Amino acid sequence: MKHKKSIPGETFSASALPESTSLNRELSWLAFNERVLAEAQDARNPLLERLKYAAICGSNLDEFFMVRVAGVHRQIAAGVVTKSPDGLLPRETLSLVRERTHVMLREIEKTARKSLADLNAAGVRIVKVADLGKKARAALKEHYLTQIQPVLTPLIVDPSHPFPYISNLSLNLAVLLRDGQEAEPEFARVKIPVGVLPRFVVIGEVYLLLEDVIAEHLQELFRGREVMVAYEFRVTRNTDYEFDEDEAEDLLATIEDGLRRRRFGAVVRLEVTREMPAVLLGFLAEKLKLDDLDVFQLEGPLGTADLMGFPSGDVARQLPELAFPAFTPHVPDLDGDEDDGIFAELQRGDQLLHHPYDSFAGVLAFLEAAAADPGVLAIKQTLYRTGDDRRLLGALRTAAENGKQVVALIELKARFDEQRNISWARQLERAGAHVVYGVSGLKVHAKVALVVRREEGRLRSYVHIGTGNYNAKTARMYTDLSLLSANEALGRDVAQLFNHLTGYAEAEYSNLLVAPDTARSGLLGWLEQMGEQMRANAEVPGFRAWARIKINQLTDPAMIEGIYRASQAGVKVDLMIRGVCCLRPGVPGLSENVRVHSLLGRYLEHARVYAFGSGIEGEEQHAQVYIGSADWMSRNLDRRVEVLAPVSDPVHCQGVLDLAAAEWADTRGSWELGPDGVYRKLPGDLSAQETFMRARGSVAG
């Protein structure tokens, strides 16, 4: 049975927006990465953190090329001549992207080089092989011969050995060899085994880049030939593969086949060191079938993303001033004093957790208690990006082994996490859990768990609904919200959701907003309602209606138009959007009541909050607050299963509004988007994240 898809704009018809009212999605994403880069360059951040930010910038840009730039190339190859909402053709977008990314990548690498140099000046010795003394070089050679060279595979190109396949994001050495003075130079490729081996080699108390060590010892690898020169290069491929679910009899096998095919996607970017001669560069570009404009000549180090592998933890233990102060989150006590522990606590009232300031251990404790409790009959859970956390997997396996009905809806199509999710699916199946591989035609992005427990002869439901993944690692680095509740209406809605996802039963929700069924219409309905209240109370002194939205991305044309309509009606709309925003705020007659901030900091802002309210200014106002998993993108609202839950407890509702107000007041990591499409850094040092850390946990120092 196939899932019935909703049609975009079926309920709310989005008229074509004027070109000037929409910002380009790809350029907006690049502006976001420029804001991250600013953190890497900000002297207020400790040195190790600046290096991490530079690595994050490089990783972000890698994914941008693998997915977004690759998509633009596909549009051009397909002959698409339709303009995007901002008025640009695909080839025009590609031209602008090329221009911006060439500048950005040079700046990222310049920043990374400076961070490494500053660390060196601070006492962390990051050196070249040539800087080592005789004794250290002897130790390095021994390390190379025993720990590095056995892993290397030199590949020569000649009539009997064709040009090798260059894997995605691999760092390589292009080596020119000669067999005798009169012989023509030969080309060989040596892959730098980053991932198999650390990017940094440690000899005594000094750190060296792996590629520098390998390049220095190439003569050991090519004995009998003269190593003339060696230059670094790196390749990025299209990884945005597609497959036809309707034709897939076995979704798991289809995904696994897609992962294999992803490895062989077309090359979309070649990075080389600037000193590489034109003849060798032309040879590589020809073999990789690349346009000159897709070749990036850089100073290095290439592969900035791999610098995340710098052993910063070891360094921080010796030089703590080089890293952020250690933070210990608040561990919520959800067990109470009764035998029923967490379940009795939730019967007394909902619990709202703010991660990472409140430890994710509270959510794991809820699932572990359910797995061990003899009264629990069933656990149902969605899993999107799981990570490697054994505690969560252990809880579900224990529950299944204890004879409970365990249903794990694992999204195999979670980009770049497919292989891990396949592994989890197989382990849970072996433990006796019922594993469902997503829904045909949709990605299940919702963060929902349902626990069914027998209590005094009746069944009672407990739910967890979050804005972030069930991933303990990212829960320490991302800001998210978790709602734990025994609310019966929520329990009924979540039970219907799982029946709908696993058995395609019809579902009607009394509390939840669920994409692709009701989320779009519900959110647009709230915006429209705020506008209607403004129009109805236009003559009432001090009356105001408002919307405060915190999401990661805003690209959907219908949602943007809904915000514009609300603004034109006088609704004050504050948008906290970390990443891409295609809306243009502050335009007279269109969006003069809309403000857009982007907040960055020590933690990745990831929570989604949707709040709407109205009333007389200065008096208590009615507010409706939701939290959930959906960004305001067409893919989230039309092609994903997303869940938005109301925060009904007045104390928690006010808590979410206070959280949003604190973030809006932030000046340490906040940027404001202007009508011209340019983000400007807000001046000041008031950090919402630091405020939350000191209020909810303990900060070293």
CB 578 within 8 A of CB 552: yes
Distance in angstroms (rounded) separating the CA atoms of residues 412 and 96: 34
- For the question of residue 445 being annotated catalytic, the response is yes
Task: Give me the residue label for tokens 């040079």.
Answer: 106
Distance in angstroms (rounded) separating the CA atoms of residues 216 and 212: 6
Q: Which residues contact 426 (CB under 8 A, 6 or more apart)?
A: none
Distance in angstroms (rounded) separating the CA atoms of residues 262 and 685: 44
Going by their DSSP bridges, the two strands 267-273 and 295-298 should be labelled as: parallel
Distance in angstroms (rounded) separating the CA atoms of residues 273 and 209: 15
Residue type, 341: G
Distance in angstroms (rounded) separating the CA atoms of residues 606 and 538: 36
Distance in angstroms (rounded) separating the CA atoms of residues 77 and 68: 14
DSSP one-letter code for 145: I
268 φ/ψ angles, rounded to the nearest 5 degrees: -120, -10
Distance in angstroms (rounded) separating the CA atoms of residues 146 and 164: 26
Residue type, 273: T
3-class DSSP string for 291-318 = CHHHEEEECCCCCHHHHHHCCHHHHHHH
Q: Which residues contact 196 (CB under 8 A, 6 or more apart)?
A: 151
Question: Cα Rg for the chain, rounded, in angstroms?
Answer: 27
Whether the link from the prior residue into 18 is cis, omega within 30° of 0, is no
Distance in angstroms (rounded) separating the CA atoms of residues 448 and 433: 17
- Residues forming beta bridges with residue 699, ordered by sequence position: 327
Tell me the angle at which helices 361-372 and 390-401 cross, rounded to the nearest 10 degrees. 10
CB 94 within 8 A of CB 73: yes
CB-CB neighbours of 245 under 10 Å: 17
Among candidate residues 468, 464, 460, 430, the one with its CA nearest the CA of residue 550: 468
DSSP one-letter code for 340: T
Among candidate residues 610, 411, 647, the one with its CA nearest the CA of residue 520: 610
Residue 644, class by beta-carbon neighbours within 10 Å (0-12 exposed, 13-18 middle, 19+ buried)? buried
Distance in angstroms (rounded) separating the CA atoms of residues 88 and 651: 47
- Residues forming beta bridges with residue 77, ordered by sequence position: none
Residues in the chain: 701
CB 491 within 8 A of CB 460: yes
Distance in angstroms (rounded) separating the CA atoms of residues 314 and 317: 5
Structure tokens at 105: 């990548």
Structure tokens at 130: 């040539």
- Phi-psi label, residue 205: left if phi above 0, alpha if psi -120 to 50, beta otherwise: alpha
- Phi-psi label, residue 403: left if phi above 0, alpha if psi -120 to 50, beta otherwise: left
Whether the link from the prior residue into 329 is cis, omega within 30° of 0, is no
Task: Select which of 354, 445, 500, 606 is catalytic.
Answer: 445
CB 521 within 8 A of CB 12: yes
Q: Which residues contact 223 (CB under 8 A, 6 or more apart)?
A: none
* Element (DSSP H or E) covering residue 218: helix 218-221
* Catalytically active residues, by annotation: 445
